[in-house]
Amino acid sequence: MSLRIMELVRTAPDWARVDTRSAEVVAWLDHARRAVQDCDLVEAGILRVHLQFLDNDIVRHGAEIVAALRRVEKKEPKPRAV
Q: What is the pLDDT of residues 3-20, one digit of tens each?
A: 899 999 999 999 999 999
Q: Alpha-carbon distance 51 to 58, whole Å?
A: 9
As for how many domains the chain has, the answer is 1
Query: 77: which DSSP letter?
Result: P
pLDDT given for residue 75 in this prediction: 84
Judged against a pLDDT cut of 70, whether residue 33 lies above it is answered with: yes
d(CA 82, CA 16): 42
Q: Is 81 part of any domain?
A: no
Nearest residue to 68 via CA among 41, 14, 16: 41
Backbone angles phi, psi at 81, to 5 degrees: -75, 135
Per-residue confidence band for 1, with pLDDT thresholds at 50, 70 and 90: low
Could you tell me if residue 32 is inside a domain?
yes
Asked if residue 79 has pLDDT above 70, the reply is no
Task: Work out the widest C-alpha separation in the chain, in whole angstroms.
Answer: 47
Is the per-residue pLDDT at 76 higher than 80? no
Q: Is residue 65 part of a domain?
A: yes
Confidence (pTM): 0.86
> What would the pLDDT profile of 51-71 be if each residue is shown by its tens digit?
999 999 999 999 999 999 999
Domain that holds residue 68: 2-75
